[in-house]
Amino acid sequence: MNAKEFIDSLFKGYEETPALADFKEELLTNMNAKIENFIRKGMDMDTAFAKASAELGDVSSLADEMSLKKRKEVFEEVYMDIKMYMPAKRVAGYVVFGTLVLWGITSALIALFSGKNVDFLSGKSLARFFGAMMPFLTAAVVGFTWLGVTQETASMNPVSKKRGTWYAIAAGLIFFGLLSMLITYFKMKPVKSIIGEIIPFILPGIGILTFLILTEKDRLKPWAKNFRDKTVAREMAMWNDPAVAVRFGLFSGAIWMFAIGIFVLLGFLIGFKFSWLIFIFATAFQLLVQGVMSKRSNS
- The predicted pLDDT at position 62 comes to 45
Question: Is residue 17 scored above 80 in pLDDT?
Answer: no
What is the pLDDT, as a whole number, of residue 15? Answer: 60
Overall domain count for the chain: 3
Pick the more confident residue, 83 or 4. Answer: 4
- 96 and 65 fall within a common domain: no
* 118 and 182 fall within a common domain: yes
Q: How far apart are CA 130 and CA 180, in angstroms?
A: 9
- The verdict on 57 and 96 lying in the same domain is no
- Can you tell me whether residue 156 is helix, strand or coil? strand
Instruction: State the Cα–Cα distance between residues 36 and 24, nearest whole angstrom.
Output: 18
- Boundary-marking domain end, from 83, 108, 130: 83
- Max mean pLDDT among 4-18, 140-154, 224-238 falls in 140-154
Give pLDDT, residue 211. 94
Instruction: Examine the domain organization and report whether 72 and 152 are in the same domain.
Output: no
pTM higher than 0.75: no
| pLDDT above 70 for 84 | no
Residues 94 and 209 in one domain: yes
Name the burial class of residue 280, with classes exposed (0-12), middle (13-18) and buried (19+) by CB atoms within 10 angstroms of its CB.
exposed
How far apart CA 4 and CA 221 sit, in angstroms, is 27
Round to whole Å and give the CA distance between 149 and 139.
16
Q: Is the pLDDT higher at 127 or at 55?
A: 127
Final residue of a structural domain among 214, 245, 269 = 214
Average pLDDT over residues 252-274: 83
Residues 147 and 203 in one domain: yes
pLDDT at residue 162 greater than cutoff 80: yes
pLDDT digits (tens, 9 = 90+) for 286-297: 888 877 776 665
Q: What pLDDT, on a 0 to 100 scale, did the predictor assign at position 10? A: 74
Same domain, 276 and 260: yes
Q: Determine the pLDDT at residue 298.
A: 58
| Domain end point (choices 46, 65, 83) | 83
Question: Are both 162 and 259 inside the same structural domain?
Answer: no
Average pLDDT over residues 98-125: 80
Residues 189, 192, 194, 199, Cα dihedral to 10°:
-150
Percent of the chain surpassing pLDDT 70: 81
Same domain for 95 and 194, yes or no, is yes
| Confidence class for position 256, pLDDT limits 50, 70, 90 | confident
Q: Which tens digit of pLDDT belongs to each residue from 237-250?
A: 766 777 777 777 88
Question: So what's the pLDDT on residue 186?
Answer: 82
- Residue 173's domain spans which residues? 88-214
Same domain, 133 and 209: yes
Residue 221 has pLDDT above 50, yes or no: yes
The confidence band for 299, taking pLDDT boundaries of 50, 70 and 90, is low
Q: How far apart are CA 115 and CA 30, in angstroms?
A: 55
Q: Select the more confidently predicted residue: 62 or 226.
A: 226
Q: What is the pLDDT of residues 171-187, one digit of tens each?
A: 999 999 999 988 888 88
Q: Are residues 183 and 229 in the same domain?
A: no
| Domain co-membership, 233 together with 210 | no
